[in-house]
Structure 1
Amino acid sequence: MISTARLFLEPAALKDAYEIRQLAGDEAVARNALNIPHPFEEGMAKAWISGLRLCDVVLAIRKREEQPLIGMIGLIRDEENDSAELSYWIGRPYWGRGFAGEAANAVVEYAFRSLGLNRIFATTLSRNSASIRVLEKAGFKVEGCLRRHVKHWGRFEDLLYHGLLRAECEEEFGEDRQ
């Protein structure tokens, strides 16, 4: 488990399936994410959780004081290359409060300090300015744009690649990253 000032992050579990479906099933959440189906059908969350690999770090984001699930964050690892893809989403009732950034910073620190990763990358739809800001605040740099690379909800969209190296993180934030 990872803790921050307002959140705790714990491994995704089958008990989270109902809340995941309720939050991720919101059309506004799915519209901004590449890998969230819409509609989010019964059983999809359980199947997704059951199919997670042991080497990956997929965490439920919970508010400390109330403990409801407010989103998910994860690192899909490439162990051979000491790297991982960061992905996350926050349920719409919790948007605009800095929860995604707080969770992303905590997971980045965990990835570099505890997992010993060399690189973390993330992708965003180029129109998803909120997610781009989360990544920028966590130290990620845009590494490229794949123009009209994905067909999302029937429309071709640009995909931005963001990256963060362990060395950049140590230089930019020092040893006490928070």
Structure 2
Amino acid sequence: MQLSDERIKLMPLDKLDWDFFLEILTCSPIMQHVSKPLTYDEAKLAFEIRSQSWDIKSDSWLTLPITEIECGEKVGWIALKILNHEAKIAEVGFILKTSVQGKGIASGALKLLKEYAFKELKLNKLVAFCSVHNADSYKLLEKHSFVREACFKQSILINNQYLDTYGYGLCQSDLKLAD
């Protein structure tokens, strides 16, 4: 499986992506809105889980590294996890190296993943969660027609601090209305 546009390509995480995966998950500035940076052992376990083969019946994350086509560098990833197979609801999440944030890369990746989720996987709804302090993420979600559905008080612990998160949703039927 490969998803691409003129700037980026998305392909499933594989065993050769270990160094890249470790770099992201152990970097404090990158992880500031996600969780505490992981230790080597925590990252290794996460990598083993996320690099397994995935299909629509899986309960794990489909993790797709984002590669800039022009330079061939992996700059982040976007991921999808089916939360409710019967209702066809999946969570999406994304993370980028700080050096490429604000350049439209996450936007391109989210567009590709939305199309794949709704057209190929035939999902009904995508949801996403982000810290209320992560304006870049929630603005990106809103740009892509996600609707803020909730604010969850003290729902995530980052650096020994409880933070609120926003919950966003995008139904396939709403997307058709937005087109």
Decide: shared fold, TM above 0.5: yes
Gaps of at least 5 residues in structure 1 are: 174-178
Partner of 1:2: 3
Report 1:4-153 matches (<5 A).
Answer: 4-34=5-35, 37-38=36-37, 40-52=38-50, 54=54, 55=58, 56-77=61-82, 78-153=84-159
Calculate the TM-score normalised by the size of structure 2. Answer: 0.88
Q: How many residues align?
A: 170
Give the aligned CA root-mean-square deviation in angstroms. Answer: 1.5
Q: Is the 8 A contact 2:67 2:74 kept in 1?
A: yes
Q: Is the 8 A contact 1:14 1:46 kept in 2?
A: no
Calculate the TM-score normalised by the size of structure 1. Answer: 0.89
Q: Percentage identity across aligned positions?
A: 23
1:10 aligned partner, one-letter code: M
Shift of 1:23: 2.9
Shift of 1:28: 1.1
CA displacement, residues 103-122 of structure 1 (integer Å, 9 cap, x when unaligned): 01110111000000000000
Report 1:155-170 matches (<5 A).
Answer: 155-170=161-176
CA displacement, residues 73-97 of structure 1 (integer Å, 9 cap, x when unaligned): 1110132221100011001111110
Shift of 1:26: 1.8
